[in-house]
Chains A and B, each alone.
Chain A
Amino acid sequence: MSTLDALDMSLKLSKEEEAERLEGAQKRLLELRLDMAGLTRKDGRLGPPLCVLFEGFDASGKGGAIKRLVASLDPRHVRVAQFAAPTYDEKRHHFLWRFGPALPGWGGMAVLDRSWYGRVLVERVEGFATVEQWSRAYTEIVGFERTLALEGMLLVKFWLHISDEEQLKRFKAREKDPLKQWKLTDEDWRNRENRGQYEEAVRDMLEYTDHQHAAWHVVEADSKRYARVKVIETVIAEVERGMAARGLEVP
């Protein structure tokens, strides 16, 4: 994990370099994905469940990064799930309950666009969870992730970090783009006003939920190109490392 303060937000890639590295990475991920699904392995063994989780400020590029991550994969081989505010019915349950069905099984892969970390981010800052609830959630989440990892799951967690200025620029661009206007709501503008509180919550999240079974990967996302390449290359490295650690031959 890297801390927010140590990030070099000026990291970027040229269009050509992005295209070249994305192409190579997408091909490699497809190869690994088919292997983990047991489709190209001689022994037909299923690989570990792969769960890639995304958190990030509004307009930090989660959607774009996910799109590139799954671009080369067959839709039958990956499931992308988005999580917004819990519904009335979901709020009747334990906060982790609604994520269960989205989790992958052996040989499977899931991508979560926001996740259980909402408890210690938006729910903390907006007061939807009490201080009692969110302050113990760090321990609860680490415990939850540990049980998943000990059952074999490979959990790759991303925080996509954008600067205040870059976010404002993207909001303004979204406002003008008829195909992206729908992405911007009054709530997004309101959240911007609480940037300081959100940053404190992000720092706590990175500190208290970074553990050996599921480390955080902080991505400098002021450049969309850089972020997209870093995300997919990190997933590949984590899959290769995870397979080797589980005694599986890495193709």
Chain B
Amino acid sequence: MEGEGPPSQPLLRLERTDHEGVPYLELVGEVDLSTAGPFKLRLELIEREEPATIVVDLRRVTFMDSIGLGILLAHRLRSSKVGRELMLIQGSKQVQDLFELTGTQDQFEYVQAPA
């Protein structure tokens, strides 16, 4: 829709940036069943560029459930098969708890947020 006012805030905004040649995907908002499709697709679009590393920034995720975790795990598995690295920037306690409760925190590597 094209209106005069600003578009409504999406549940999940996905922002793609590049830092020193490394693609970053920042997630802002909620990752659940209703936003899983765009998240998965945007990750795949970056994959098609065949970068050596992809960083997913979870700092501004306000909610994530098993759907989001599943997408990250599936992506990590695909990446490792082709020698690509998936790195995460840690999210809030709620998000990190999800990794811990499911015993998946060691499945991922973490990086510091770029300055």
Contact for A91 among B1, B10, B36, CB less than 8 A: B1
Chain B nearest Cβ from A31, distance in angstroms: 40
Inter-chain contact B3/A135, CB cutoff 8 Å: no
Contact for B2 among A91, A132, A136, CB less than 8 A: A91
Q: Does A94 contact B (CB under 8 A)?
A: yes
Q: Does A93 contact B (CB under 8 A)?
A: yes
Chain B nearest Cβ from A131, distance in angstroms: 8
Contacts of A92 in B (CB 8 A): 1-3
Tell me whether A135 and B14 are in contact in the complex, defined as CB-CB below 8 angstroms, given that A204-B41, A208-B37 are known contacts: yes
Q: How far is the CA of A91 from the CA of B2 in the complex (A)?
A: 6
Mask: chain B, 6-36; 1 = CB below 8 Å from A; 0 = not: 0000100110000000000000000000111
Inter-chain contact B38/A139, CB cutoff 8 Å: yes
Which size class do A's interface residues fall under?
10 to 19
Q: How far is the CA of A93 from the CA of B3 in the complex (A)?
A: 9
Contact for A132 among B1, B3, B10, CB less than 8 A: B10
Contacts of A131 in B (CB 8 A): 14, 42
Residues of B within 8 A of A (CB): 1-3, 10, 13-14, 34-38, 41-42
- Provide a sorted-by-A list of 20 A–B residue pairs whose CB atoms are within 8 angstroms: A91-B1, A91-B2, A92-B2, A92-B3, A93-B1, A94-B1, A95-B1, A131-B42, A132-B10, A132-B13, A132-B14, A132-B38, A135-B37, A135-B41, A136-B10, A138-B37, A138-B38, A139-B36, A204-B41, A208-B37
